[in-house]
Amino acid sequence: MTSNLINQPVTDFSVNAYHQGEFTQVTQQDVKDHWSIFFFYPADFSFVCPTELGDLADHYAEFQALSAEIYAVSEDSEFVHKAWAEATDTIAKVQYPMLADPAGHLARAFGVLDETSGWAYRATFIIDPDGNIQSYTINNTGIGRNAEEILRTLSAAQFVAENGDQVCPANWHPGQATITPSAELVGKI
């Protein structure tokens, strides 16, 4: 079993990326001072993956409005990311960085590399502006994710970070009631 990653800092890294038609590098320092979503997926030119990246692309403006950047990560090279964007309308609309992790260093650091297949599991990490993991989910490769739930979880993480004396109940959305933990509430919720 892996150890808990909550409040753990993102390890030092430097990877190549494909971003808005250009090749670039992304490092640990690039994910500081804003919220980050690390979105691991198994492979380019596959089946569930484009539906997920397309869903994130459709909600990208909402992530940006929350001062968050999305970093999609697979074990493909930046050249394969470029070819996928040029070949597929769904991926062509992706405006967030697509990180290349062909040696699996980043997937291993996050504990999401399936060593047998060489693919990353479907894992989502929400990282605060200090570079610490605040939320993560890991799905097997056949189970797709939902951008709206990632947005909801990001909003809750941001609310708790700003209002440490309050917590967000199940299905909480911005503007809804939160809970201030106290002994008086025990057994009454």
Cα(36)–Cα(127) distance, rounded to whole angstroms? 5
- Across the range 13-37, mean pLDDT stands at 97
User: Mean pLDDT across the chain, nearest whole number?
Assistant: 96
Where are the chain's structural domains?
14-147
Name the catalytic one among 49, 57, 70, 99.
49
How far are the Cα atoms of 123, 133, 148 from residue 66, in angstroms, in the given order?
A: 20, 17, 13
CB atoms < 10 A from the CB of 159, how many? 17
pLDDT in tens, 154-187: 999 999 999 989 999 999 999 999 999 888 888 8
Whether the pLDDT of residue 1 is over 60: the answer is: no
183 or 15, greater pLDDT: 15
Instruction: Provide the β-strand partners of residue 69.
Output: 36
Place of tokens 């070949």: 87
Distance CA 141, CA 89 (A): 22
- What local confidence, expressed as pLDDT, does residue 2 receive? 57
176/23 Cα distance (integer angstroms): 41
Cα radius of gyration rounded to whole Å, the chain: 17
What pLDDT band is residue 129 in, cutting at 50, 70 and 90?
very high
Q: Please state the three-class secondary structure of 60-115 as a single string.
A: HHHHHHCCEEEEEEECCCHHHHHHHHHHCHHHHCCCCCEEECCCCHHHHHCCCEEC
pLDDT category of residue 114 using cuts at 50, 70 and 90: very high
This model's pTM is above 0.85: yes
Q: Which amino acid is at 16?
A: N
Q: Which listed CATH number (3.40.30.10, 3.30.9.10, 3.20.80.10, 1.20.1510.10) goes with 14-147?
A: 3.40.30.10
What mean pLDDT do residues 67-82 have?
Answer: 98
Contact call for residues 153 and 135 (beta carbons, < 8 A): yes
Element (H, E) at 155: helix 147-162
Q: Does the annotation count 49 as an active-site position?
A: yes
Contacts of 175 (CB under 8 A, 6+ apart): none
How many Å apart are CA 70 and CA 12, to the nearest integer?
18
